[in-house]
Amino acid sequence: MTTMAKIDLKEQNPLEALKQFFAGILKLKDVTSILVPQRLSTLNTIMPTLVTDAALLEGVDPLAPAFPMNAARIASRLTRKPMGGKVAAVLRPCEIRAFIELVKLNQAHREEILLISTDCLGAFPNKEYFKFAAQDGGEETLRFYKTMLGGNTHEMEGYPLAPACKACEHPVSENADIQIGLYGIKPGESILIKAQSEAGDEMLKQMNLPETTEPTGRQAAIDTLISQRIRFRDDMFAKTQEAVNSLDKMGAYFSNCVNCYNCRVACPVCYCKECVFVTDVFDHEPSQYLQWAARKGMIKMPTDTLFYHLTRLAHMSTACVGCGQCSNACPNDIPIMEVFRTVAQHTQQAFGYEAGKNLEEKPPLSVFFKDEFQEVVGIS
Amino acid sequence: MSEFEPTIVAFFCNWCTFTAADLAGTSRLSYPHNIRIIRVMCTGMVDPQYVIKAFLEGADGVLVSGCNPGDCHYINGNYKARRRIKLLKEILPQFGFENERLRLTWIGASDGVRLAEILRTFVTQIKALGPSQTKLKMAI
């Protein structure tokens, strides 16, 4: 479980090394395909691709500051039933944590997937990334890689990281079978390949890479980054709490919400095939609206905006991994992630649970015990 | 000025607390008229959504009440309800809904007297707390 290897970089280019490494994985027996983010030539966008031909890994780019979607949803599609062979999936740590939640919710299976993760350098909000990528074709990932590893972990060339990334205390995956290490190594020098499970160990053994040991300073670099992130996160929690702690403030916070439900569509752990908010339950009779309006003289249309957000918090906050795709998906730029993470922190703590951490921990609302939470019962 | 009369939505399970409410009635016990009882088959079917909706529509308090531990007609519905109430008690206070407005109790079928007492206590407490923010203002 401790196999560690390193790949020295040619021309200081980690993407080239990753391409070779992924091609090597694809050649392993048992591995049928690899799910990996690639730069699609057409629009200079980065999207997950499912590749079976090692020659078609030209655009491999898991380090770009682009995070168009949480690919845990894709991994769940690929593994919800037996696929007929193993797929290796290159995911960000938050995608792996969302995937673990989906496995626990029976929406995905762990057996046929090898999870590979690179140390996460973070990403820009989608809209910012489009602007950033429009300026420059292919070199920007390498600039981003050097800037982030050079100690500036908040912004680059005036583009700030997404708030979700700035508040992320999990830049390195604990649950990947293979973790590709970047932090604590001089940028452009080498990358670390670390097996973190038996399956990962098995893979690395077949690949015959030069063995190495954990670079000195790696753990310290990660710890420093995490403590910066936690500072930002706690500050965000305090500010958000203050911003929504009454009906008025909550109304103001969500006042631009048009009930498009994009945040729910983008959410990796909101897995219902049919959300209750698009069913007949919310297809109110016209006379019902009139009745509601008559009661207070006025109602805001569309209705049920706060009802929707509060219900979604009840449904998924214990599974929230804080990936920030809800904020990315909002057409009106409501900082949704901030509210959901702030509340999720409370709900997860209440049940002693951390989303995406451990496959063995049961989701809080799927279990119950006889003598628990006595404090919520009774009126004295 | 007339005294504030709260609206309290109560979800009572068919087998225990609702039967206790029936017993309170047939025993001619009185309890405050502020309680709007909704009979459900089990507290385990009280979706957190129901509670959220009640609050957003202007309820000043919500009471969920079912069978004593071990007595659930469906074996464990009340334990599930307890986790959901715990969850709601973490979410709602973040948005300014005081924790005291949401209550869970276990009241057995023969506890008509206790039921009347609990309802009186709850109404007194909510009166002291004052109207809910949603009663005064529109929720978007």
Q: Where are the domains of chain A?
A: 4-230, 246-366
Distance from CA of A97 to the nearest CA of B (A): 21
One-letter amino acid identity for A308?
Y
The pLDDT value recorded for residue A138 is: 64
What is the pLDDT averaged over residues B21-29? 96
The residue extents of the domains of chain B are 8-136
Is the minimum CB–CB distance between A38 and chain B shorter than 8 Å? no
The pLDDT value recorded for residue A357 is: 96
Do B84 and A365 count as a contact with CB atoms less than 8 A apart?
yes
The pLDDT value recorded for residue A227 is: 96
The pLDDT value recorded for residue B66 is: 97
Do B95 and A245 count as a contact with CB atoms less than 8 A apart?
yes
Alpha carbons B33 and B35: distance in angstroms, whole number: 5
Comparing A142-151, A225-234, B9-18, B26-35, the range with the smallest average pLDDT is A142-151
Q: Inform me whether the pLDDT recorded for B1 exceeds 70.
A: no
H helices then E strands: how many in chain B?
5, 4
Is the minimum CB–CB distance between B101 and chain A shorter than 8 Å? no
Alpha carbons A9 and A355: distance in angstroms, whole number: 35
Chain A, 254 to 313: residues with Cβ < 8 Å from chain B are 254-255, 257, 276, 296, 298-300, 305-307, 310-311, 313
Going residue by residue through chain A (380 aa), what tens digit of pLDDT does each one get? 568 999 999 999 999 999 999 999 999 988 999 999 998 876 678 999 999 999 999 999 999 999 999 999 999 999 999 998 999 999 999 999 999 999 999 999 999 999 999 999 999 999 999 888 876 656 889 999 999 998 777 888 889 999 999 999 999 999 999 999 999 999 999 999 999 999 999 999 999 899 999 999 999 999 999 999 999 999 999 999 999 999 999 999 999 999 999 999 999 999 999 999 999 999 999 999 999 999 889 999 999 999 999 999 999 999 999 999 999 999 999 999 999 999 999 999 999 999 999 999 999 999 999 999 999 999 97
Which residues on chain A are in Cβ contact (under 8 Å) with B53?
Answer: 307
Alpha carbons A164 and A330: distance in angstroms, whole number: 14
Alpha carbons A83 and A32: distance in angstroms, whole number: 10
Burial A239-249 (b: 16+ CB within 10 A, else e): ebbebbeebee
Is the minimum CB–CB distance between A363 and chain B shorter than 8 Å? no
Q: Inform me whether the pLDDT recorded for B73 exceeds 70.
A: yes
Under 8 Å between Cβ of A160 and A128 = yes
In CATH terms, B8-136 corresponds, of 2.30.29, 3.40.50, 1.25.40, 1.10.357, to 3.40.50
The pLDDT value recorded for residue B74 is: 96
* Whole-prediction pTM: 0.95
Do A376 and B104 count as a contact with CB atoms less than 8 A apart?
yes
User: Which residues sit opposite A5 in a β-bridge?
Assistant: A193, A211
Alpha carbons A334 and A328: distance in angstroms, whole number: 9
Please give the angle made by the CA atoms of A290, A293 and A297, to the nearest 5 degrees: 135
Cis peptide before A363 (omega within 30 of 0): no
